[in-house]
Amino acid sequence: MTAVLEARNISRDYHVGGTLFGAGRVVHAVKNLSFSLDRGRTLAIVGESGSGKSTLARILTLIDRQTSGELFMDGAAVDIGRTGVTRDMRRKVQIVFQNPYGSLNPRQKIGDVLMEPLLLNTDMPVAERRERALQMLVKVGLLPEHFNRYPHMFSGGQRQRIAIARAIILNPSLLVLDEPVSALDLSVQAQILNLLADLQDEFGLTYVFISHDLSVVRYIADEVMVMYLGEAVEYGSRDRVFEAPQHAYTRTLFAATPRADVESIRARLARKAAAAA
């Protein structure tokens, strides 16, 4: 089976602060990163804040170009610098951005936000577009009456769901999700994770799922990659990574996970009381 997505030695440098007087400096945001992902599988990426996850997400979704290294989709080499992005590629690959508000046009009603990809990328008649957009709204736990509202009229978590609805409305085959559930309450989070699982079962969707929430990652991932300072310091099956983490940073991450058990809460409250006395 050919992989849906394969990255070979991908790197991305940013040049910042170059002025007349100084050469500036180079940020190596992603360093020499490789992986391969089969159809219908989920790769979760966790890692330090600033370690290059969103940069990688933009490269995988053909928004930004790597400085070096190769990207393959369904076995074919992709280089947007040479060929640009075709309508067909756009349909196949979608992204849910980390910052949903920044990715929504403040003057566009939500209904139009959802119908736009259908307008641009399909020949669907308007009534069908409308129908599909309404279905999508309900699937992500919003209401038909939200159709005519503007982005600023929504809560953070509602906007995050709009971004998810927009990304899945075209039935992509690869979906990159950058912190897609961080603004959702546990119940809506469960609803969205279940929806993603349904779509994967039904259409064989492939996911790259970026998250800081290790319990979500443990629930959703087939494979896990841990990034630290631009490098993939750990990459393996979910069970392997969670049960036998190889890298010190991965172990540090696991150790820093907040504890919600009653004993830990008791101990913390006792410490606080002692410090105040």
Ligand X SMILES: Nc1ncnc2c1ncn2[C@@H]1O[C@H](COP(=O)(O)OP(=O)(O)OP(=O)(O)O)[C@@H](O)[C@H]1O
Q: Please give the residue ranges that form the binding site for ligand X (CB under 6 A).
A: 14, 16, 27, 29, 47, 49-55, 98, 152-158, 183
**Exposure class string for 185-220: b at 16+ Cβ within 10 A, else e:** eeebbebbbebbeebbeeeebbbbbbbebbebbeeb
Q: State the pairing for strand pair 76-78/68-73.
A: antiparallel
x/- track of binding to Mg ion for residues 17-56 (CB under 5 A):
-------------------------------------x--
241 membership: H or E segment, kind and range: helix 238-243
Between residues 80 and 190, which has the closer beta carbon with respect to another protein? 190
Which residue intervals of 31-104 are DSSP H helices? 53-60, 80-83, 87-92
The residues, any chain, with a CB within 8 Å of residue 56's CB and separated by 6 or more, are 10, 12, 30, 33, 45, 227
| DSSP at 158 | H
258 binds, among Mg ion, ligand X, another protein, none (CB under 5 to 8 A by kind): another protein
Q: Does 102 bind Mg ion (CB under 5 A)?
A: no
Do residues 205 and 199 make contact, with C-beta atoms less than 8 angstroms apart? yes
Taking the least distance from each CB to another protein, the nearer of 125 and 204 is: 204
Count Cβ atoms below 10 Å from residue 158 Cβ, excluding itself.
21
- For residue 253, the minimal CB distance to ligand X (Å) is 12
Closer residue to another protein in complex, CB, 61/158: 158
Cβ(161)–Cβ(184) under 8 Å?
yes
- Footprint of another protein on this chain (CB under 8 A)? 14, 16-17, 25, 46-50, 53-54, 98-102, 145, 148-149, 152-158, 161, 178-179, 182-191, 193-194, 197, 212-216, 218-219, 252-253, 256-262, 264-266, 268-269, 272, 275-276
In the window 143-182, what residues touch Mg ion (CB under 5 A)? 155-156
Choose from ligand X, Mg ion, another protein, none: what does 271 bind? Cβ within 5-8 Å by kind: none
19 binds, among another protein, Mg ion, ligand X, none (CB under 5 to 8 A by kind): none
Strand partners, 5: 37, 73
What span, in angstroms and rounded, lies between the C-alpha atoms of 202 and 29? Answer: 35
CB of 240 to another protein, least distance (A): 19
CB of residue 52 vs ligand X: minimum separation in angstroms? 4
Q: How far is the CB of 157 from Mg ion (least distance, A)?
A: 7
Can you spell out the DSSP letters for 179-214?
Answer: STTTTS-HHHHHHHHHHHHHHHHHH--EEEEE-S-H
Choose the contact partner of 251 out of another protein, Mg ion, ligand X, none; CB within 5 to 8 A by kind. Answer: none
